[in-house]
Amino acid sequence: MGALVDDIRVIREENPFESMMSRFDNAAQLLNLDPDLYKVLRVPNREITIYIPVFMDDGRIEVFTGYRVQHNFARGPAKGGIRFAPDITLDEIRALAAWMTWKCAVVNIPFGGAKGGIICDPSQMSQAELERMTRRYTAELIDFIGPERDVPAPDMNTNEQTMAWIMDTYSMHARHTVTAVVTGKPIDLSGSRGRREATGRGLLCVTNEAVKKLGLKVPEARVVVQGSGNVGGTAARLLYETGYKLVALSDIHGGIYNAKGLDIPDVMQYLAKNNSLELYPRAEPVSNHELLELDCEVLLPAATENQITSHNADKIRCRILVEGANGPTTAAADEILERKGVFVIPDILANAGGVTCSYFEWVQDRMGYFWKEELVNERLQDIMVASFNDVVKYAESHNVNNRIAAYMLAIDRVAYITRVRGIYA
């Protein structure tokens, strides 16, 4: 019986929706949020489940399950990525949609939150099968997405090509080209310069601010990055170029560690050539779990959810935790990290560089005029630094940690707009 209770506790702790709601409830209570507004903001506006028949290359039909959850429209069109993965759940999509609402509000851009996904294993599908699945998914959502309604973007296992298929399918139905229906498109298809690096660049911006606030020096700040994909790999490269000492990096198979510092360009070149960091000759191997517990000034988890839990939070030895992934820390771990004095830059602030640059892409598409990359990066830095300062000031004035401050600030902004707009009945 005891083992069953423990299993249930783990399932609840690692359920992203439970974590999101726990933090939402805490922040709402501290805000003394009006009970009627609480009822409105705690639930999504719309949840869509789609069953997608697809002709496979061998001639048979496979039916995939897809989701799109639109959490909130108070501040503007919904915004959020689409992911392809075999283990997607509706609870996960619900949580990610809500996180997008709070993330957009934290950086004060005029979007609400949404998220989508299809349960599939893209590694086992051909390019043609992925295209047919994506286009059918888009066609089923045609009445629910659009530049003024809901603007999808890439996420796990989706990319610029996926967005191009969505844009083309939507445009065929609209009978004219609609570039602003998605973001994260190829630059030649009205994408934005700087978009691919935006999440990593945003992480650099908030790390710089945190290091400055804690009185640390960049060359002496040891950084550990979990993940080496577009977010983790880009963040690692930009931090290295800024002068940080990158001591550990990982991929899905495991990590590498060198106390004297890694040559990140050399590591990334090795990774591109070998598709794995295993056997990298100029570092020691470490597991992804061991990597999280290394002694460092900055820990940047940029892989998947639920990496820091109540089981390992007490072993975390960083000064600053910068959440590159969505939901890398469970709600149950928050109290332990706060007790240890870890300065947490929560995901809804730290990795908001991606959605901020998506906003820039949407703006550029709608005006039909595109900015130089230097201008994109300058405007991204302005928003990330201002948002970091907003959250830290909120935390200090309300005597709460940064995560709860970020939620309180976001909920306060969404609640204000909801109150002013009123409830249509």
Tell me the mean pLDDT in the region 65-91: 97
pLDDT at 9: 52
In degrees rounded to 5, what are phi and psi of residue 371? -90, 155
Do 240 and 386 lie in one domain? The reply is yes
**Position 136 in a domain:** yes
Do 387 and 295 lie in one domain? The reply is yes
Last residue of a domain, one of 188, 206, 223: 188
Determine which one of 39, 79, 103, 115 is catalytic: 115
Do 256 and 346 lie in one domain? The reply is yes
Do 130 and 101 lie in one domain? The reply is yes
Instruction: In whole angstroms, give the CA distance from residue 201 to residue 211.
Output: 15
Instruction: In whole angstroms, give the CA distance from residue 230 to residue 87.
Output: 21
The answer to whether 103 is a known catalytic residue is no
Tell me the mean pLDDT in the region 274-298: 95
**Position 411 in a domain:** yes
**Position 402 in a domain:** yes
**Position 16 in a domain:** no
Instruction: In whole angstroms, give the CA distance from residue 228 to residue 303.
Output: 8
Strands 298-301 and 284-286: unpaired
* Closest-CA residue to 260 (of 280, 282, 238, 276): 282
Do 184 and 247 lie in one domain? The reply is no
Tell me the mean pLDDT in the region 192-196: 95
Instruction: In whole angstroms, give the CA distance from residue 77 to residue 101.
Output: 10
pLDDT at 2: 52
Tell me the mean pLDDT in the region 385-408: 97
pLDDT at 10: 55
Tell me the mean pLDDT in the region 143-159: 96
CATH number at residue 203: 3.40.50.720
CA angle 50, 51, 52 (to 5 degrees): 110
Query: Mean of the per-residue pLDDT values for the chain?
Result: 94
Do 183 and 197 lie in one domain? The reply is no
Share of the chain above pLDDT 70, in %: 97
Tell me the mean pLDDT in the region 265-278: 95
pLDDT at 21: 87
How many folded domains does the chain comprise? 2
Residue 416 pLDDT > 90: yes
Residue 7 pLDDT > 50: no
* Domain with 87 in it: 44-188
Tell me the mean pLDDT in the region 207-214: 98
Residue 12 pLDDT > 70: no
**Position 328 in a domain:** yes
Tell me the mean pLDDT in the region 313-331: 95
Do 221 and 177 lie in one domain? The reply is no
Q: Model confidence over 223-238: pLDDT tens digits? A: 999 999 989 999 999 9
Residue 6 pLDDT > 70: no
CB atoms within 10 A of CB 243: 11
Do 244 and 145 lie in one domain? The reply is no
Do 416 and 284 lie in one domain? The reply is yes
Do 157 and 268 lie in one domain? The reply is no
Do 175 and 270 lie in one domain? The reply is no
Last residue of a domain, one of 124, 154, 188: 188
**Position 29 in a domain:** no
Residue 207 pLDDT > 60: yes
Strand partners, 65: 51, 119
Write down the H helix ranges in 85-229.
Answer: 90-106, 127-140, 160-174, 198-213
Share of the chain above pLDDT 90, in %: 90
Tell me the mean pLDDT in the region 172-196: 97
Do 245 and 330 lie in one domain? The reply is yes
CATH number at residue 64: 3.40.50.10860
Last residue of a domain, one of 168, 188, 208: 188
**Position 23 in a domain:** no
Extract the tokens encoding 347: 């995901």
**Position 24 in a domain:** no
Residues, the chain, total? 425
Tell me the mean pLDDT in the region 74-89: 96
pLDDT at 8: 41
